[in-house]
Structure 1
Amino acid sequence: MVFWRVAVVGSLLMTLPVQAHEVAGKFGGRVTDAGKYHVEMVAKDKTLDVYVLDNSEKPLPATGFKGIAILVVNGKPARITLAPADAQKLTGTAEVALGAAPKGAVQLTAPDGTTASGKFN
């Protein structure tokens, strides 16, 4: 009987969707999965920096990428357009201070036109 319960619980757990988890990034932000990429989001006052990373979490060149972040700030949505700021990051400016760890999503468009998104909880 115990074996049967363990088997049922185990099979149910295997059917649950895999959720991406956030980890601390090397630029001081949070990292999450975004399709075939990883993204690190760093918020400081009204500035949002997003680093596009490969599977080894090494920065990719920002040239050719563009994006938009839709975050919840003080209970209201904030849309931030992201554009390459230097060789390693996309940057955008919000109308209000973002706080250290805003929640929301970042949608990227890669140089080849494909899109990917990452969710920050």
Structure 2
Amino acid sequence: MKFSQLLLAAALLAAPLSLSAQHGHGQGHNAAGETHAHTAPHGGIVRTAGKYHVELVLKDGQMTAYLLDGKEQVLANKGLTGTAMVLQGGKTTNVTLAPYGDDQLRATIPAGATPTTAILTLRRGSETINARFDKLASTSAKAKAVGYVCPMGCKGSESTKPGKCPTCGMDLVKKA
């Protein structure tokens, strides 16, 4: 890693990410880099990133990212690339987020300690979309508490509470 990249990594990890302030959907939104006020479609953590939202799901050694529009609708991953700078156990690791399915970017989380911070950089055409996720160690316990799934087994239907499957619309059922 070049010295300039190390400086950038240190600055991003030390300071809050200031991408955009608030934008209205008729409800109060938190500033970029803070927990989003809306429910995450896939049970992860959502951050505001300019005109987009980014959802991060950590589960079973995988980091999955979804790019969402202003109404939290999942966008296709065609032409979307990404990287994640992951801080875990005092070490920073860079991972490449590869397209998975039609709407996800995925990476295997480096073995070892649970990630505490992840900074995602997504590229869509000429756009760069950044999102910072802090306190991941405390949120990964919530991810293990998934109690509802789609009876059709749709990917990304896992939730901590009852609701509808974001893929097929069926009612989620309690996990056995």
- TM-score normalised according to structure 1 size: 0.75
Report the secondary structure of 1:39's partner residue: strand
Identity across the alignment (%): 32
Match of 2:164 in 1: none
**In structure 2, what residue type is equivalent to 1:22?**
T
Report the number of matched residues. Answer: 103
1:84 to 83, 96, 99: 99
- How far residue 103 of structure 1 moved from its aligned partner, in angstroms, is 1.3
- Which region of structure 1 is more displaced relative to structure 2, 30-39 or 50-59? 30-39
Which structure is higher in RCO with an 8 Å CA cutoff and minimum separation 6?
A: 1
Q: Say if 2:137 is the partner of 1:119.
A: no
Of Structure 1 and Structure 2, the greater strand share is in 1
What is the CA RMSD across the aligned residues, in angstroms?
A: 1.9
- How far residue 97 of structure 1 moved from its aligned partner, in angstroms, is 4.9
1:1-121 superposed matches below 5 A: 18=21, 19-20=31-32, 21-23=34-36, 24-97=39-112, 99=114, 102-110=116-124, 112-121=125-134
- TM-score normalised according to structure 2 size: 0.53
- How far residue 36 of structure 1 moved from its aligned partner, in angstroms, is 2.1
Match of 1:6 in 2: none
Question: 1:94–1:79: structure 2 CA closer, same or farther, 3 Å change rule?
Answer: same
Aligned equivalents of 2:47, 2:72: Cα separation in 1: 10
- How far residue 98 of structure 1 moved from its aligned partner, in angstroms, is 6.3
Long gaps (5+) in structure 1: 1-16
Long gaps (5+) in structure 2: 1-19, 22-30, 135-176
Match of 1:13 in 2: none
- How far residue 29 of structure 1 moved from its aligned partner, in angstroms, is 0.7
Aligned equivalents of 1:98, 1:52: Cα separation in 2: 26
- How far residue 102 of structure 1 moved from its aligned partner, in angstroms, is 3.5
Deviations for 1:49-82, whole angstroms, at most 9, x for unmatched residues?
0000000001000111000011211121121101
